[in-house]
């Protein structure tokens, strides 16, 4: 019997390469340049961060109902202002003044959140039907609740809508209404008929080449001129039309990406089965193409969500304009930093949330072939 | 025989023939499009005439009844300049802010992108916080925030201006910089021509060095020699012609600075917001481009014995640039389109002065909006032409 050599157990790694110290050596102090950069960053952060924390939290004013509290302590942020004007900033002028009606937009929002939550569940039967139902029916439910006339509630005219609610309405109506248009345009751009293709390309490039603000100017100044006198649109409707036309070009480009990603074999197989153009498109091509283009559409939705803030230039009271207007009222003049930061925070939460979700989607939808 | 069998087969009815169907469908589409555009046009013209506005280009020759404050290159004279001049000034100011924005956004974007890739955890985190903050907040909000909440209220008045070596001043009215002044026109032209000649010389030198390297393998320090030529030759010309270009410093007068180069606060805020916003997107592009270069490339280059600088300069950067440049050019176009948000801070560029003030003054909605759109369409089509050309060029490089 030969004796087996028993090696000694491995020594633990040196203390300087494990734990907190090792992590710091590797990630913060690995070379002279890195040491310098770390120290420089720490120095800059030590100047900026404490000031911001002091202003926004420690010295901030949270309580009270008018500006006397804030004026007495001008070194901190005046969150009192946001607190007092919260309803107005979130739901606009009408609901800002009629606090007893505020359950209506809140209910509409809760229904939407519930439905979207259901749709986000990974395994759910009849998901497609539910999705279609949300797209087609929910807008009417929301309109009935927020406008109020159909349900016999006090009427809130669209001219009095505003705040975060209006931002949501504009962005979601824009993306939903642009979807069918975008699908048709994307199909048109890949059509074999030269005129259809030329028309789609012209349409898409026209809107993509123009800044949204010009489109909104056009919608608010020129739309009434386009129709015979007597046809009238309200301001929100005009903005929605402008946003939809603009957005459909970007949606079309996102869907075109999906269409291009589908292998030729799918088209040929559908042809071999004897399917006509529409059957082939609706049953074979679009279900696959739309799935691939979801991340692209979601990304264009984030851009649209941010861009809806431009309607404040044509005088609509969206989240940005509502916050700004509130901070320019006589009672709260001078607290515009708080107004902008609050609006920025709301925008940031939604955009960042959606973009993280879209990254997650890209990973799950990616089936490596 | 074969021909017989085809003629005997039941002929496709004409309404089932795909070719005929396509023709009919396209004819219908054309009719609908032409009819709707025609109706829209005639409705617009009638509606404008009902309001007493005669649509046409005649108003371009009329004198503009309002003042334009900022126009560094085209002279504006109240009571003499026409609407056409206002249009040109609008384009000029759009180009100015876009150019300044593109330069600053590119520099800042590269810094952010490289910081994001840094092995230093803190530096990389700072860059990603920057990117996520700036790109998830609407640009308009950022412009308003910087202009109204930060610069306008926190910058000191003209008397207490922040200054950089008593030559550059920043206050709540704007940014003031020294301006080059020509003292002798002929001399200035000589210096410019000499400068261009030096540039051409550098290009020739670069070509010669490249050819020599391809043939003999000997390298030539092109960069340092060109730098020396570009600095020394024009400077020499400058002194030989007797300093034809002087410098005019901004001077504090009774109410504000006068002379020098002036940048109104609206332009400064717009420029600041546009560049910090676009830099976040360019930073992501740069990071993506550098990460797209396969790690094997770097290793192979080191195995060939290239040192770190050479690996970066000869292997990584050329391949990364190919990925970075197309999306960066689209970002430049986005920045140019976004400069139209100037209307919020009343910087006098195309949308704000032309689609805004001029439209309100004349009521010529159709012509004015159409002209504005045409300018942006030209910019955007030029950009896509450049992009297509670039993509075509780099395709040739590939195997």
pLDDT of residue A7: 87
Residue B397 has pLDDT above 60, yes or no: no
Comparing A9-23, B222-236, B320-334, which segment has the lowest mean pLDDT?
Answer: A9-23
3-state secondary structure of A64: coil
Q: Are residues A20 and A90 in the same domain?
A: no
Domain assignment present for A9: no
3-state secondary structure of A335: coil
pLDDT of residue A63: 85
Comparing A69-78, B256-265, B295-304, B387-396, which segment has the lowest mean pLDDT?
Answer: B387-396
Domain containing A284 equals: 79-98+156-365
Buried b (16+ CB within 10 A) or exposed e, B314-324: ebbeebbebbb
3-state secondary structure of A318: strand
Q: Is A227 on the interface with B (CB under 8 A)?
A: yes
Q: Are residues A225 and A343 in the same domain?
A: yes
Q: Which of A91-100, A270-279, B214-223, B386-395 has the highest mean pLDDT?
A: A270-279
Number of domains in chain A: 2
Mean of per-residue pLDDT scores for chain B: 88
pLDDT of residue B35: 95
Q: Are residues A183 and A253 in the same domain?
A: yes
Measured in angstroms, the CA of A129 and the nearest CA of chain B are apart by 32
Q: Is B145 on the interface with A (CB under 8 A)?
A: yes
Domain assignment present for A258: yes
Q: Is A129 on the interface with B (CB under 8 A)?
A: no
Q: Which of A66-75, A144-153, A314-323, B159-168 has the highest mean pLDDT?
A: A314-323
Q: Are residues A220 and A346 in the same domain?
A: yes
Q: Are residues A259 and A327 in the same domain?
A: yes
Q: Are residues A169 and A291 in the same domain?
A: yes
- The model's confidence at residue A199, banded by pLDDT at 50, 70 and 90, is very high
pLDDT digits (tens, 9 = 90+) for A244-289: 999 999 999 999 999 998 999 999 999 999 998 889 999 999 988 9
Domain assignment present for A248: yes
Torsion of CA B384, B388, B394, B399, to 10 degrees: 150
Mean of per-residue pLDDT scores for chain A: 89
Q: Are residues A228 and A343 in the same domain?
A: yes
Q: What ipTM score was computed for the predicted complex, to two decimals?
A: 0.90
Stretch B160-189: mean pLDDT: 84
pLDDT digits (tens, 9 = 90+) for B245-290: 778 888 887 777 877 788 899 999 999 999 999 999 999 999 999 9
Q: Is A49 on the interface with B (CB under 8 A)?
A: no
Q: Are residues A247 and A314 in the same domain?
A: yes
Domain assignment present for A344: yes
Q: Are residues A171 and A214 in the same domain?
A: yes
Residue A369 has pLDDT above 50, yes or no: no
Rg of chain A, C-alpha, whole Å: 27
Strands (E), chain B: 162-164, 168-171, 174-177, 179-182, 245-248, 251-252, 257-258, 261-264
Measured in angstroms, the CA of B336 and the nearest CA of chain A are apart by 9
pLDDT of residue B8: 60
pLDDT digits (tens, 9 = 90+) for A139-165: 888 888 888 888 888 888 888 888 999
pLDDT digits (tens, 9 = 90+) for B283-324: 999 999 999 998 899 999 999 999 888 888 889 988 898 889
Q: Are residues A24 and A84 in the same domain?
A: no
Place of tokens 């503009």: B64
Measured in angstroms, the CA of A218 and the nearest CA of chain B are apart by 7
Task: Please name the residue of chain B whose CA is at the shortest distance from the CA of residue A322.
Answer: B141
Query: Is-contact B264 B195, C-beta < 8 A?
Result: no
Q: Tokens standing for B192? A: 């410019």
Stretch B199-218: mean pLDDT: 89
CATH assignment at residue A297: 1.10.3720.10
User: What CA–CA distances, in Å, run from A160 to A141, A155, A343, B145?
Assistant: 19, 10, 19, 25
Contact A27/B120, CB-based, under 8 Å? yes
Nearest residue to B78 via CA among B59, B92, B65, B62: B65
Contact B379/A307, CB-based, under 8 Å? no
pLDDT of residue A65: 84
């Amino acid at each position: 019997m030969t004796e087996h050599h028993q090696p000694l157990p491995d020594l633990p790694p040196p203390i300087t390469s494990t734990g907190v110290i090792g992590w710091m050596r590797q990630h913060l102090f690995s070379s002279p340049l890195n040491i310098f950069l770390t120290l420089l960053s720490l120095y800059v952060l030590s100047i900026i961060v404490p000031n911001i924390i002091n202003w926004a939290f420690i010295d901030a004013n949270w309580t009270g109902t008018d500006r006397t509290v804030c004026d007495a302590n001008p070194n901190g942020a005046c969150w009192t202002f946001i607190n007092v004007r919260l309803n107005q900033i979130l739901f606009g002028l009408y609901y800002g003044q009629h606090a007893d009606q505020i359950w209506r937009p809140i209910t509409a929002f809760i229904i939407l959140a519930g439905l979207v939550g259901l749709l986000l569940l990974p395994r759910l039967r009849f998901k497609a039907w539910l999705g279609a139902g949300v797209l087609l029916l929910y807008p009417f439910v929301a309109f009935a609740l927020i406008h109020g006339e159909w349900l016999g509630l006090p009427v809130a005219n669209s001219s009095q809508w505003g705040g975060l609610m209006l931002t949501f309405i504009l962005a979601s109506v824009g993306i939903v209404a642009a979807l069918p248009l975008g699908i048709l345009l994307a199909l048109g751009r890949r059509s074999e008929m030269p005129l259809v293709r030329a028309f789609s390309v012209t349409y898409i490039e026209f809107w993509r080449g123009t800044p949204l603000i010009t489109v909104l100017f056009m919608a608010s100044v020129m739309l009434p001129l386009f129709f015979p006198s007597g046809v009238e649109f309200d301001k929100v409707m005009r903005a929605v039309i402008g946003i939809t036309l603009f957005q459909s070009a970007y949606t079309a480009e996102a869907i075109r990406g999906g269409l291009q990603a589908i292998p030729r074999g799918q088209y040929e197989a559908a042809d071999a089965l004897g399917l006509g153009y529409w059957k082939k498109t609706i049953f074979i091509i679009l279900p696959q193409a739309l799935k691939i283009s979801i991340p692209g559409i979601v990304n264009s939705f984030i851009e649209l969500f941010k861009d809806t803030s431009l309607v404040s230039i044509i005088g609509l009271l969206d989240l940005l304009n509502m916050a700004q207007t509130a901070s320019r009222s006589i009672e709260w003049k001078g607290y515009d930093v708080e107004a902008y930061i609050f609006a920025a925070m709301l925008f940031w939460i939604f955009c960042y949330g959606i973009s993280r979700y879209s990254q997650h989607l890209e990973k799950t939808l990616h089936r490596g072939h | 025989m074969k021909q017989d069998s085809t003629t005997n087969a039941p002929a496709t009815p004409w309404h089932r023939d795909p070719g005929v169907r396509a023709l009919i469908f396209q004819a219908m589409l054309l009719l609908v499009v032409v009819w709707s555009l025609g109706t829209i046009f005639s409705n617009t013209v009638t509606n404008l005439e009902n309001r007493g506005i005669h649509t046409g280009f005649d108003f371009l020759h009329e004198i503009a009844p309002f003042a334009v404050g900022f126009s560094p290159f085209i002279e504006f004279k109240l009571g003499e300049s026409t609407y056409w001049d206002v249009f040109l000034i609008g384009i000029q100011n759009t180009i100015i802010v876009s150019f300044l924005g593109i330069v600053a956004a590119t520099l800042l974007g590269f810094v952010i992108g490289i910081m994001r890739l840094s092995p230093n955890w803190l530096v990389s985190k700072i860059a990603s916080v920057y990117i996520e903050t700036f790109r998830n907040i609407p640009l308009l909000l950022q412009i308003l925030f910087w202009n109204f909440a930060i610069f306008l209220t926190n910058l000191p008045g003209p008397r207490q201006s922040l200054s950089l070596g008593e030559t550059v001043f920043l206050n709540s009215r704007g940014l003031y910089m020294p301006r080059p002044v020509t003292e002798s026109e002929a001399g200035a032209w000589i210096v410019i021509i000499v400068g261009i000649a030096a540039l051409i010389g550098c290009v020739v030198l670069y070509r010669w060095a490249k050819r020599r390297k391809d043939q003999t393998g000997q390298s030539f320090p092109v960069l340092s020699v060109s730098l020396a030529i570009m600095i020394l030759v024009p400077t020499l010309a400058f002194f030989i012609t007797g300093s034809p270009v002087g410098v005019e410093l901004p001077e504090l007068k009774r109410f504000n600075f006068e002379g020098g180069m002036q940048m109104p606060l609206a332009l400064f805020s717009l420029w600041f917001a546009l560049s910090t916003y676009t830099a976040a997107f360019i930073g992501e592009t740069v990071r993506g481009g550098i990460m797209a270069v396969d790690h094997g490339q770097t290793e192979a280059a080191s195995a060939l014995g290239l040192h770190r600088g050479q690996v970066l300069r000869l292997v990584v950067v050329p391949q990364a640039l190919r990925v970075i440049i197309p999306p960066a050019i689209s970002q430049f176009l986005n920045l140019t389109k976004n400069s139209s948000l100037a209307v919020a801070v009343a910087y006098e560029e195309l949308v704000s002065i032309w689609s805004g003030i001029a439209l309100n003054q004349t009521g010529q909605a159709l012509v004015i909006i159409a002209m504005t759109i045409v300018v942006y369409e030209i910019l955007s089509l030029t950009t896509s032409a450049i992009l297509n050309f670039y993509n075509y060029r780099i395709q040739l490089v590939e195997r």
